[in-house]
Amino acid sequence: MHNVRQISEDSWWLGASDRRLELFENTYPTPDGMSYDNYLIMDEKTCLLDGIDEGVSRQFMENLEFVLGGRTLDYMVINHMEPDHCVVIPQLVERYPQIKLVGTTQTFKMLAQFFDFDPEPHAVRVKEGDTLELGRHTLRFLLAPMVHWPEVMVTFDQLTHTLYSADAFGEFGALSGNIFADEVDWEQDWADEARRYYVNIVGKYGPQTLALLKKVQSLDIAMICPLHGHLWRRDFQLILDRYAKWASYTPELDSVAIFYGSIYGDTACAADILSMRLAERGLRNVRVYDCSKADTSELVSRAFQYSKLVFASATYNMGLFDSTRVLLEDLSSHALRNRVVGVMENGSWAPKAGSLMLEQLEGMSNMTILEPVVRLKSGVKQSNLDEIEALADALANA
Ligand SMILES: Cc1cc2nc3c(=O)[nH]c(=O)nc-3n(C[C@H](O)[C@H](O)[C@H](O)COP(=O)(O)O)c2cc1C
Ligand SMILES: [Fe+2]
Ligand SMILES: [Fe+2]
């Protein structure tokens, strides 16, 4: 049975939510499920904007047939050639043999790599600024390379002033009928998952995302329709301001997030003591994370949110404790920069964690590393309390 929602005069949302999914991209936990959005414009020509993931493709096909109401599908715009939106393409080509597929040169290169059918009879290649007439609707295509893959473009409907934005402005989490951001308490309930999505999926490509934002700002937008999560039809600044920050590696919150990796609890104890000293100095919203417990995608998201970060790790076989090592590697690979950083190490016979963390942090752009480094030699001692006080002062004053 169909489950669709009309979003404007002759445009429809055909998406679906997958609440069984454990890991998006087999990597990122989705405790609240995942949504995949796509859209159909019913004009003189019918036009689908993007496909859907395999896990919910049955619902999508029912939705598509219902809105088409017996008409054929003339066009499919492929804004993004990733399988979570494209796995249904062979099925669509089989069912609608006259279908034209619209994408960039790169899109068709990848399409031929993923599938066995010959795309050429279907291919409509577009470049920056090209348009497609559907009747009343004219679609304009704008390239957005590396927001998330190199072939990505976004589509602007000049009639409804709707931006079909591909993975940009997406979120983790299933949708529940209220598909518009203005129908939920977005800041309270969704902003964190929008950040975790952006940072982990696209976060490495800040400059490319800024380039897309610049294009978006030149458009007179009435609606933003992403491929995951809520649609926007007002309060655009809520999401655009956040994207401007995330993409430029600008913190949202001036406070401290502490990330520790601890086997027996002494490094954790030092982290907790530091958090208390920071609270006494008037800092609000201080956060302490056990890197072995919290998911790395959540930690990376918080590191993008906070202005000041503290990394604390036990030494482990002359290296960093695994969970802190993984976090720091992930932050490097996501190109995190522009942060104030404190370091705390632990080790019982040949402590190495401090120098390894400093090495990693120095390899990242514009990280201001604070003195002193807190050096535990197993348990937290009086001399460590003095170092922690000094680090708290440095963090509060930075
Ligand atoms: C498997 C293992 C390997 C370790 N390797 C080192 C090491 O190479 N150098 C060192 O100084 N301490 C090493 N340690 C000791 C811990 O870093 C040290 O006991 C520290 O105080 C643990 O802090 P925690 O209470 O936060 O877990 C190792 C501990 C374990 C369990
Ligand atoms: Fe993607
Ligand atoms: Fe996606």
Distance separating alpha carbons of residues 154 and 141, to the nearest angstrom: 6
Q: Is 72 in the pocket of ligand 1 (CB under 6 A)?
A: no
Which of residues 219, 247, 275 is at a domain's end? Answer: 247
The answer on 226 and 356 residing in a single domain is no
For atom 29 of ligand 1, the residue with the nearest CA is: 316
Distance separating alpha carbons of residues 292 and 41, to the nearest angstrom: 47
86 Cα–ligand 3 center, Å: 10
Contact status, residue 155 vs residue 79, Cβ threshold 8 Å: yes
| pLDDT at residue 7 in the model | 98
Q: What is the pLDDT of residues 307-360, one digit of tens each?
A: 999 999 999 999 999 999 999 999 999 999 999 999 999 999 999 999 999 999
Q: Is 262 in the pocket of ligand 1 (CB under 6 A)?
A: yes
Distance separating alpha carbons of residues 366 and 339, to the nearest angstrom: 7
The answer on 100 and 174 residing in a single domain is yes
Angle between helices 322-333 and 353-362 (to 10 degrees): 10
Q: Where do runs of H (alpha helix) occur along the chain?
A: 57-68, 83-86, 89-95, 105-114, 186-189, 191-197, 206-217, 236-247, 266-280, 296-305, 322-333, 353-362, 382-397
The answer on 258 and 239 residing in a single domain is no
Q: What is the pLDDT of residues 239-271, one digit of tens each?
A: 999 999 999 999 999 999 999 999 999 999 999
Examine residue 398 and state whether it is found in any structural domain, yes or no.
no
Range of the domain at 46: 5-247
Instruction: Give every residue of the chain whose pLDDT is below 70, as ranges.
Output: none
Best mutation site among 316, 321, 349, 377 for ligand 1 pocket (most ligand atoms within 8 Å of CB): 316
Examine residue 171 and state whether it is found in any structural domain, yes or no.
yes
For atom 21 of ligand 1, the residue with the nearest CA is: 378
| CATH number, position 204 | 3.60.15.10
Distance separating alpha carbons of residues 251 and 248, to the nearest angstrom: 9
Taking the CA of 263 as reference, the closest ligand is 1
Q: What is the dihedral of CA 323, 327, 329, 330, to 10 degrees?
A: 130
The answer on 239 and 269 residing in a single domain is no
The answer on 146 and 52 residing in a single domain is yes
Which ligand 1 atom lies nearest to the CA of residue 268? 26
Distance separating alpha carbons of residues 228 and 35, to the nearest angstrom: 5
pTM confidence score: 0.95
Residue with tokens 């445009």: 11
| pLDDT at residue 160 in the model | 98
Contact status, residue 344 vs residue 291, Cβ threshold 8 Å: no
Contact status, residue 64 vs residue 40, Cβ threshold 8 Å: yes
With CA atoms as reference, report the closest residue to 127 among 112, 108, 114: 108
Distance separating alpha carbons of residues 17 and 291, to the nearest angstrom: 29
Specify the pairing of strand 39-42 against strand 11-13.
antiparallel
| pLDDT at residue 255 in the model | 98
Give residue 207's identity as a one-letter amino acid code. P
| CATH number, position 350 | 3.40.50.360
Q: Is 349 in the pocket of ligand 1 (CB under 6 A)?
A: yes
- Counted residue by residue, the chain has a size of 398
Q: Is 318 in the pocket of ligand 1 (CB under 6 A)?
A: yes
376 Cα–ligand 1 center, Å: 11
The answer on 239 and 383 residing in a single domain is no
With CA atoms as reference, report the closest residue to 262 among 250, 248, 272, 249: 272
| pLDDT at residue 159 in the model | 98
The answer on 292 and 370 residing in a single domain is yes
The answer on 310 and 176 residing in a single domain is no
For atom 28 of ligand 1, the residue with the nearest CA is: 316
| pLDDT at residue 190 in the model | 98
Examine residue 177 and state whether it is found in any structural domain, yes or no.
yes
Contact status, residue 380 vs residue 391, Cβ threshold 8 Å: no
Specify the pairing of strand 138-143 against strand 253-261.
unpaired
With CA atoms as reference, report the closest residue to 173 among 36, 5, 25, 4: 36
The answer on 317 and 288 residing in a single domain is yes
- In sequence order, which residues have a C-beta less than 8 Å from that of residue 318 and are 6 or more positions away? 350, 352
149 Cα–ligand 2 center, Å: 7
Best mutation site among 315, 322, 346 for ligand 1 pocket (most ligand atoms within 8 Å of CB): 315
Best mutation site among 311, 324, 348 for ligand 1 pocket (most ligand atoms within 8 Å of CB): 348
The answer on 230 and 336 residing in a single domain is no
Q: Is 266 in the pocket of ligand 1 (CB under 6 A)?
A: yes
What is the domain count for the chain? 2
Could you tell me the two tokens for 254?
A: 């001036």
DSSP string, 70-97: T----EEE-S---HHHHTTHHHHHHHST
Q: Is 338 in the pocket of ligand 1 (CB under 6 A)?
A: no
The answer on 297 and 168 residing in a single domain is no
Residue with tokens 């006080």: 389
Examine residue 188 and state whether it is found in any structural domain, yes or no.
yes
Could you tell me the two tokens for 18?
A: 């997958």
323 Cα–ligand 1 center, Å: 14
Which of residues 247, 280, 305 is at a domain's end? Answer: 247
| pLDDT at residue 344 in the model | 98
The answer on 347 and 227 residing in a single domain is no
Q: Is 348 in the pocket of ligand 1 (CB under 6 A)?
A: yes
Give residue 216's identity as a one-letter amino acid code. V
